[in-house]
Amino acid sequence: MELKAKTAKESSVIMTELVLPNDTNTFGNLMGGRLMYWMDIAGALAALKHCGRPVVTASVDNISFENSIKLGNVVHIQAKVSRSFNTSMEVHLNVWGEDTVLQHKYKSNEAYLTFVAIDNNGKPIHVPSLIPETEEEKVLYDGALRRRQLRLILGGKMQPDAATELKALFFK
């Protein structure tokens, strides 16, 4: 069955959460684990919108926190598919904090998560290809193959010599 290609904007999700006392550490900052939980949900929703099937988290790339998000601030998580492969989708997430009293919005972090679409028996299933439209989407799309190869090498599923896109960065 031929799957119809989709655009990145068709998978776009913006999730908003209020940071409550139960979400924070002893310093009054949003706990990293709680944020990762929310990011996983937002990413899964974007992947689900892209493929129209249940998805499972396959990998989480490095997450570096630029700015902490304080108790009482709002968290905005934007997620959208940056590239799809055979059965997997890479989802790019941007996270902002917002102090609504001071009306100040600030970058917290960004990350890439990979999801696999599954059928009714829990087996991987093909996903639609992705059509990048904007310049930012094209940059994310082009870099996705290198990020995928790095994930596969680190996960022991690809030999470094087979990573042609990664080798091209270092060798002519």
pLDDT-based confidence at residue 154 (cuts at 50, 70, 90): confident
pLDDT of residue 160: 84
pLDDT-based confidence at residue 63 (cuts at 50, 70, 90): confident
Q: Which domains does the chain have, with CATH numbers?
A: 6-132 (3.10.129.10)
Tokens of 23: 């979400």
Instruction: Note whether 84 and 22 are within 8 A (CB).
Output: no
3-class DSSP state for residue 33? helix
Instruction: Note whether 39 and 92 are within 8 A (CB).
Output: no
Report field, pTM of the whole predicted structure over 0.75: yes
User: What residues does 110 pair with on adjacent strands?
Assistant: 94
Instruction: Note whether 73 and 131 are within 8 A (CB).
Output: no
**Entry field: residues in the chain:** 172
| Residue range 72-100, pLDDT digits in tens | 999 999 999 999 999 999 999 999 999 99
